[in-house]
Each structure stands twice: as structure tokens, then as C-alpha cells.
């Protein structure tokens, strides 16, 4: 059996434990030249707090103090790292004979200046276990509680990071610019471990997905294909098989004393209590401190050692994997004072970075509370750049499924976007038609190809940052089941024995090919369109079943017409004079035909028309 020294050298995580067998240190390594000069290392081993740790002399690094808790199995070393410190190895000794080494690494050039994802991007959301099996040897791993079970809807199907790496040429050709993987971190749970949100090690990629080194390789190879990597982080909860459930670092590490109490301590999901000036303290606590389920204990971010752990964990992954963004699961469920500090710490370290928080509400008054720059009545200040636009998602599905009237149909979308005055930066909202927690857009639109194409055209041409769920381009469908295992369906071509292959086009239906071509056209146009990435949005009140809008930049104007009618429309453009100016010709994106703007535009039945004016 390999020693810990060998394991850490092979994995390049650079934390070595000598004569302190089975001790772990978190973070596993750090960097010199960070904006913040403090570092807190959490040590975990039986009776580790009894060691009187001393740092051997190292220029520019001081061991400020050691924090011990009510659990002798933990110790927290607070270090000060000056800007003059150089990369190297810190050596810690104790009088009891303990010794361990800790690496300080050099940062990549301009790491602090990295640009996050923005409105020029499209995030492609992947459930790695259901996307592509690139390495069948890790489908089941000895020591992991759940083995592969590809025929079970809630089981592990074998997809992994190697499968995503292998798909990079396909994703680049499709027009994707960012990858958002549901958490690939270790989920060593006895069941339903595939989804990734019950984390049992915040510093380790699940061995059935690959390794830390392979995740970093994914980031590097994706960048070579013009694609960034966005990590899905969970701050609110963790998996019940985590060592913290058996050995809590502090008595108050987990909310409600680590007891779900048969649902008594379940969250209320009443997110409005956070902003409600009349809400009781009881209701506020029930929302923020309550657990999702018994297998996902709720973390107490008011505990300062835990708060610091979560902040450093995010920064560690940004540096280690060279991330271009973070998506935060169940954002508002965490302590809001902690969230302010967490976002501020990351954005201070990376001023041009981007983080999007999941606040699942169709009420923009609630969602906008969290976006950076919002002046809130209670004085709360957030540094979160982006939130998810659930209001537009819900309105879009309603609009396409409803008949048109004065208060139904496209007016729902118009009204949702009209609420942008509530947001400090609506261009930095994440817009989407579906995701991993809801039925697929094709399913929600009752398997209507034309409506699905209209929905995706709107999402990929309106304001904001676009997100698309994997397989939307080939009409993946969960009709007949709302089970998450069916929503997170296997991607065609990613697994052996499938009849169709989206990567090659083999076996796809005519409708699937049509959708794939539509999505590819939109995504690749979006990548190079100044109007879609930077342009102003001007939309017009829906009329006669048509919703229309313009995206305008200095050198380009894009006009979008979404016609829900079951008949062709001859559509006059006189009302668009303010965005047309003197332009008389445009090119239709999908047909590449030239269109005379001095005449009425032909809008085919149940269609999206996109006119590009250069």
C-alpha cells in the first residue's frame, strides 16, 4: 500500500504527512502572491490538537497562532504570507515528533486578472455521469459505496471527465464557450451519488469521475478549444457520509446540532423570509438552517472556521483548476452575512471573475436582492455578480404554451424582461430554458419542435448570459416521467450500445438534425456577434402573436421576430424606425437570404426569424 507521501506526490497536490499517519491538511496547498496574505490550514487527525506545532524558519511566512476547538481531532493553523514570500515547502514540527510539509506554489501569470464568463458566452450544462463514458475502468471503484448501475434511472451510469474531454471538438464545433459541470467532487454516498450535490470531500474529484489532475487537464484542454470551465460549488450542505458527520470540527459546525429530526428540521424553502421586513426569526432560521433531506446535512456558515474553510476552498479550485467561473447551488439558503463575505473575498482576489447564484424564484424582486450593486432596504450589500433568471424561464414556457390574449402568451415574456429595472446589471443575468432540476424544454413544450426552436432562439439572442442544458441540441426528452434520473438522460453517443450518436450524427431523426443545425447556427453566430454580446436590448410590445426585439451595437443590429401563429405573417417594420435608422437591407441568419427592410418582412408560421444588419 502506498504511503501518503507517495499518494500526494503522484497526485501533485503537494501536501505531505510524515510520522503523522492519516493526517489531512486543508487546503492541500496554497500560492504565494495572493491578494489576501492570510491562510488557515485545517489539520485533522486523532488528537492532533495536542501537538504544539512550530513552523521552521521560512522567509516571508509566519505561523501567527493555532486555534483549537472542542474537538481535539482538529487544529487550525493561521499563517501570514507576505508579498515577499517565494514558492517552496513549509516544514512544521511538533515536540511530540510530528512533522509535515506544506507546499506554497507560484501562481500562473495574471491569475488575478482572469476574466470570468460574460454575456458573450454560452454555458453548456452537463451532468458528467450522464454525458459520456470516456473511461470504463472507473465506472465502479473499490472503496466507493455505490457501484455503476446504468439500467437504474437513479444509479451511476458511468459518465466521467474523460468523456467530457473526448467531446471537446464536438462542443467547440457546436459553438459552446463555457462548460458547467454539475459537481464532480467526491460523493461517496450509498445511493443517488451520480448527481454530485452530496459532497463527501470538498478537495477531491470523485474517483469514478477521474481525478484532480484530470479535472485540471479538462480545464487546460477546454481552453485550447476556446472553452472555459465553470465549477458548481455547494456552500449550503454536504453529504451525510462526510467525515464531519462522525467527527465534527466544532460542536456548531452543522445546523440544528447535526440532527434532521425526521424532517422537523427540514428547510421551509420560504426564501422570501430573507427580505421580508415582517418575517419572524423562527421562519428565517427554518429557511436558512433547515436541511434539504436527511442525506444532505446543512452547514452553519456562521461558524467562522467553517466560513473561512469554504472561502479558501473556492479560491483553491479557481487557482488549481484555472476556472473561469463558479455557479453556486442553492445560493440563498446559506447564511446571508457569510454569502456577502464569501463573494467579496473571491471578487477581491479576482475582480473580473464571474459567479452566478441559484435563487429559484420567479419573483425578480427576490432574485435581484442578491446581485452586486443592488441598494436593498435592509442595507444588505452583496458582491455576487450574477443570478439565474427563473422569471424569464417560467414566462417563456408559459408564453409558448398559452394562447395569445392581452394577458397571456408573449406578454408574459415582455413583462418579465420589463422587470429588469429591479436588477443592477440585467446583462449579467443567466438565462435558460431548462436545467438539471426541471423537465427538459422539449418536454415542457409538449414535444413541439417549432416552439422549442423559438424558445432557444430567444434565449440565445436576448440580453444576459445564455445557458443550455446538454442534449437540448438533439431534443432530449423526458415525456412521461418527471423523475430526475429521466431528466438527466444519457447523451446519445456517450455510451456503448446506443442507437444514435449526436457526436457523429448517426441515427438522429430529421427533427433532431434540424434542431442541431439551428442551435449550432445560433451558438456560432453568438460567439462573434457584437450586438448579442454587448448590444442594447430594445423590445416591442407583442402584437398578433408576434414578439419582436432588437439588439444594437455600434457596428451591428440584430432583429428577432418570434411568430406563434399557425400561418405566415407579412410583417411591417414601421414601428422599428428607432432601431433601423437608414438601414435598408439585412441578412436572415438561418437562410442567409437578403431581406429588403423597406418592405414588410415575411414571417413563416410558427417560426423564429433573425435579421442581421452589418
Strands 15-18 vs 74-81: parallel, antiparallel or unpaired: unpaired
In 223-297, at which residue ranges do the beta strands (DSSP E only) sit? 228-234
Of the candidates 487, 501, 502, 373, the one whose C-alpha atom is nearest the C-alpha of residue 441 is: 487
Complete edge-to-edge strand list for the sheet that includes strand 38-44? 24-26, 38-44, 74-81, 61-68
* Spatial separation of the C-alpha atoms in residues 266 and 290, rounded to whole Å: 5
CB atoms closer than 10 angstroms to residue 394: 16
3 state SS of 13: coil
Q: Are 557 and 583 in contact (CB under 8 A)?
A: yes
138 and 477 Cβ atoms separated by less than 8 Å:
no
Closest C-alpha among 578, 557, 570 to residue 605? 570
Q: Quick count: other Cβ atoms within 10 Å of Cβ 396?
A: 29
* Order of strands across the sheet that contains 122-126: 386-387, 355-357, 325-329, 228-234, 178-181, 122-126, 465-469, 430-432
- Which residues belong to the active site? 329, 358
CA atoms within 13 A on the CB side of 580: 18
DSSP 306-365: HHHHHHHHHHHHHHHHT-SEEEEETGGGS-HHHHHHHHHHHHHH-TT--EEE----S-HH
Q: Are 481 and 489 in contact (CB under 8 A)?
A: no
**Which one, of 205, 249, 247, lies nearest residue 229 by Cα?**
205
Q: Are 428 and 354 in contact (CB under 8 A)?
A: yes
Q: Are strands 122-126 and 178-181 parallel, antiparallel or unpaired?
A: parallel
> Could you please report the per-residue DSSP string of 356-368?
EE----S-HHHHG
Report d(CA 579, CA 577) in Å as an integer.
5
DSSP letter assigned to residue 573? -
CA-based R_g, the chain, Å:
26
Amino acid at each position: 500500500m502506498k504511503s501518503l507521501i507517495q499518494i500526494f506526490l503522484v497526485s501533485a497536490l503537494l501536501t505531505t504527512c510524515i510520522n503523522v499517519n492519516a493526517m489531512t491538511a486543508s487546503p492541500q496547498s496554497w500560492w504565494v502572491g495572493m491578494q489576501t496574505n492570510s491562510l488557515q490550514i485545517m489539520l485533522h487527525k486523532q488528537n492532533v490538537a495536542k501537538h504544539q506545532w512550530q513552523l521552521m524558519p521560512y522567509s516571508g511566512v509566519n505561523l501567527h497562532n493555532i486555534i483549537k476547538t472542542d474537538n481535539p481531532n482538529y487544529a487550525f493553523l493561521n499563517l501570514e504570507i507576505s508579498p515577499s514570500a517565494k514558492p517552496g515547502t513549509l516544514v512544521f514540527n511538533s515536540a511530540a515528533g510530528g512533522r509535515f510539509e506544506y507546499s506554497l506554489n507560484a501562481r500562473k501569470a495574471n491569475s488575478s486578472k482572469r476574466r470570468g464568463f460574460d454575456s458573450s458566452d454560452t454555458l453548456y450544462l452537463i451532468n458528467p455521469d450522464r454525458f459520456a463514458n470516456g473511461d470504463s475502468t472507473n465506472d465502479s471503484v473499490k472503496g466507493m459505496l455505490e457501484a455503476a448501475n446504468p439500467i437504474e434511472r437513479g444509479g451511476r451510469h458511468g459518465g466521467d471527465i474523460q468523456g467530457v474531454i473526448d467531446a471537446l471538438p464536438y462542443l467547440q464545433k457546436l459553438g459552446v464557450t463555457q462548460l458547467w459541470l454539475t459537481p464532480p467532487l467526491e460523493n461517496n454516498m450509498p445511493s443517488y451519488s451520480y448527481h454530485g450535490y452530496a459532497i463527501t470531500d470538498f478537495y477531491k474529484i470523485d474517483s469514478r469521475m477521474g481525478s484532480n489532475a484530470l479535472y485540471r487537464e479538462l480545464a487546460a484542454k477546454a481552453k485550447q478549444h476556446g472553452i472555459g470551465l465553470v465549477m458548481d460549488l455547494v456552500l449550503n450542505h454536504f453529504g451525510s457520509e462526510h467525515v464531519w458527520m462522525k467527527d465534527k470540527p466544532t460542536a456548531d459546525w452543522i445546523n440544528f446540532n447535526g440532527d434532521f429530526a425526521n424532517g422537523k428540521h427540514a428547510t421551509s424553502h420560504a426564501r422570501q423570509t430573507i427580505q421580508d421586513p415582517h418575517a419572524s426569526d423562527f421562519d428565517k432560521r427554518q429557511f436558512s438552517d433547515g436541511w434539504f433531506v436527511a442525506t444532505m446535512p446543512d452547514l452553519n456558515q456562521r461558524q467562522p472556521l467553517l466560513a473561512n474553510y469554504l472561502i479558501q476552498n473556492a479560491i483553491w479550485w479557481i487557482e488549481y483548476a484555472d476556472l473561469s467561473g463558479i455557479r453556486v447551488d442553492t445560493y440563498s439558503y446559506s447564511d446571508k452575512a457569510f454569502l456577502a463575505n464569501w463573494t467579496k473575498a473571491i471578487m477581491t482576489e479576482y475582480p473580473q471573475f464571474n459567479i452566478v447564484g441559484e435563487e429559484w424564484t420567479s419573483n425578480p424582486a427576490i432574485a435581484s436582492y442578491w446581485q452586486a450593486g443592488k441598494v436593498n432596504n435592509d442595507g444588505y450589500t452583496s458582491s455576487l455578480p450574477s443570478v439565474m433568471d427563473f422569471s424569464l424561464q417560467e414566462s417563456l414556457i408559459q408564453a409558448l404554451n398559452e394562447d395569445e390574449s392581452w394577458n397571456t402568451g408573449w406578454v408574459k415574456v415582455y413583462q418579465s424582461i420589463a422587470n429588469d429595472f429591479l436588477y443592477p446589471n440585467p446583462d449579467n443575468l443567466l438565462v435558460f430554458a431548462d436545467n438539471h432540476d426541471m423537465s427538459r424544454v422539449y418536454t415542457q413544450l409538449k414535444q413541439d419542435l417549432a416552439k422549442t426552436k423559438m424558445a432557444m432562439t430567444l434565449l440565445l439572442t436576448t440580453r444576459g448570459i445564455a445557458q443550455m442544458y446538454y442534449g437540448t441540441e438533439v431534443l432530449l426528452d423526458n415525456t412521461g416521467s418527471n423523475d430526475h434520473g429521466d431528466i438527466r438522460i444519457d447523451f446519445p453517443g456517450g455510451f456503448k450500445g446506443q442507437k444514435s450518436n449526436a457526436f457523429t450524427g448517426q441515427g438522429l431523426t430529421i427533427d433532431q438534425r434540424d434542431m442541431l443545425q439551428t442551435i449550432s447556427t445560433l451558438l456560432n453566430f453568438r460567439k462573434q456577434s457584437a450586438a448579442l454580446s454587448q448590444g442594447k436590448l430594445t423590445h416591442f410590445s407583442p402584437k398578433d402573436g408576434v414578439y419582436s426585439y432588437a439588439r444594437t451595437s455600434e457596428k451591428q443590429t440584430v432583429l428577432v421576430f418570434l411568430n406563434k401563429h399557425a400561418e405566415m405573417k407579412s410583417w411591417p417594420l414601421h414601428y422599428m424606425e428607432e432601431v433601423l435608422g437608414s438601414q435598408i437591407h439585412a441578412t436572415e441568419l438561418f437562410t442567409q437570404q437578403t431581406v429588403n427592410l423597406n418592405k414588410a418582412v415575411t414571417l413563416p408560421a410558427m417560426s423564429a426569424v433573425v435579421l442581421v444588419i452589418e
